[in-house]
Amino acid sequence: MKKIKIYGAGGHSRVVMDLAEVLGYTITKIFDDFADHTQPLTGDNRPSLSESKESFLSENEPLIIAIGDNHIRCSLADKVKSPFVKLIHPNAEVSKYAELGDGTVVNAGGIIQAGAKIGRHVIINTGALVDHDSIVGDFAHISPNVALTGHVEVGEGSHIGAGAIIIPKVKIGKWCIVGAGTVVIRDVPDYAVVVGNPGRIVKHIK
């Protein structure tokens, strides 16, 4: 029996729990630093929320950080010492010539083509495309129906909003935000927020 612990109990966590169960995992523990313990979790066979972080982390079982916020995922990854696993939905298409880091989740309909390199604790969300030879840095989030065309680079911690399109060979810096539906046709510097078609920088994040 494959066992897994889930760190996080929000909306993204529920998707990850479903995916883990589809892949044959039994969820043994769930913890969230800010969870509302009065609200039941969906799923008849799932455990109740752990009250203690120390107890949650005490057993060395595989773990996924199921938190959508890239900054929080990044912060926790360096503190949690449990082994991390990759979760890839059976309805996703991942080339055997692609590379995926530990803690990464690929949801239903995600496509990762040959030569792509996906970092640690990345979210490749529903229906997202990472085309050939593209690079996605650690802790990034590629939202539903995003298209990263060939040779695109997305920096650490960047969030690419739903339905955005990044044309070939464009580089997105680290900790950027690309708004939903944005079409990015030129490189984006670190910490920039980009929106529109064509994409334009509207501010920088400190």
Which residues are marked as active site? 132
CA–CA distance, 144 with 164 (Å, rounded to integer) = 9
CA–CA distance, 198 with 206 (Å, rounded to integer) = 24
Sequence-separated (6 or more) residues with CB below 8 Å from residue 57:
31, 80, 81, 82
Tokens 């046709």, residue?
185
Q: What share of the chain is helix, strand, coil (3-state, %, to 5)?
A: 15, 30, 55
Q: Which amino acid would we find at residue 198?
A: P
CA–CA distance, 113 with 4 (Å, rounded to integer) = 27
Sign for the pseudo-dihedral over CA of 75, 77, 81, 87:
positive
Pairing state between β 165-166 and 183-184 = parallel
Instruction: Give, in order, the Cα–Cα distances in Å from 16 to each of 13, 43, 139.
Output: 5, 12, 16
